[in-house]
């Protein structure tokens, strides 16, 4: 199920040692990661209703599945999808 894939990725982010270290030094990063997770969950819900969102969501799922990329690289690639959606006037959370 797609939701499980997203939740696994969010969990992977929040349990990564580099993430925990960064948040301990900069607690505001937690807010940014929470917003990232919220946007992923929002897209998961909207993908069933909207063909454009489904296409973007499928792209995000392919990015998340890329084992050749680090967590940070996958997050940045997903962020680029978010930026394109916002530039197109789409709300993602």
Domain count, the chain: 1
Mean pLDDT by 10 residues, the chain (93 residues): 83 92 92 93 88 90 95 96 93 81
Q: Residue 45 falls within a domain, yes or no?
A: yes
Quote the pTM value: 0.88
Dihedral, CA of residue 16, residue 18, residue 21 and residue 26, to nearest 10: -110
**Residues 30, 23 contacting (CB under 8 angstroms):** yes
Q: Residue 92 falls within a domain, yes or no?
A: no
Q: Residue 93 falls within a domain, yes or no?
A: no
Give dist(CA 89, CA 61) in Å, integer: 21
């Amino acid at each position: 199920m797609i939701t499980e894939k997203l939740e696994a990725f969010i969990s992977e982010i929040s349990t990564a040692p580099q993430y925990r270290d960064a948040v301990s030094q900069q607690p505001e990063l937690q807010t940014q990661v929470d917003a990232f997770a919220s946007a992923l969950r929002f897209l998961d819900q909207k993908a069933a209703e909207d063909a454009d969102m489904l296409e973007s969501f499928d792209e995000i799922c392919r990015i998340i599945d890329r084992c050749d990329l680090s967590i940070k690289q996958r997050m940045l690639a997903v962020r680029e999808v978010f930026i394109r959606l916002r530039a197109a006037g789409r709300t993602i959370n």
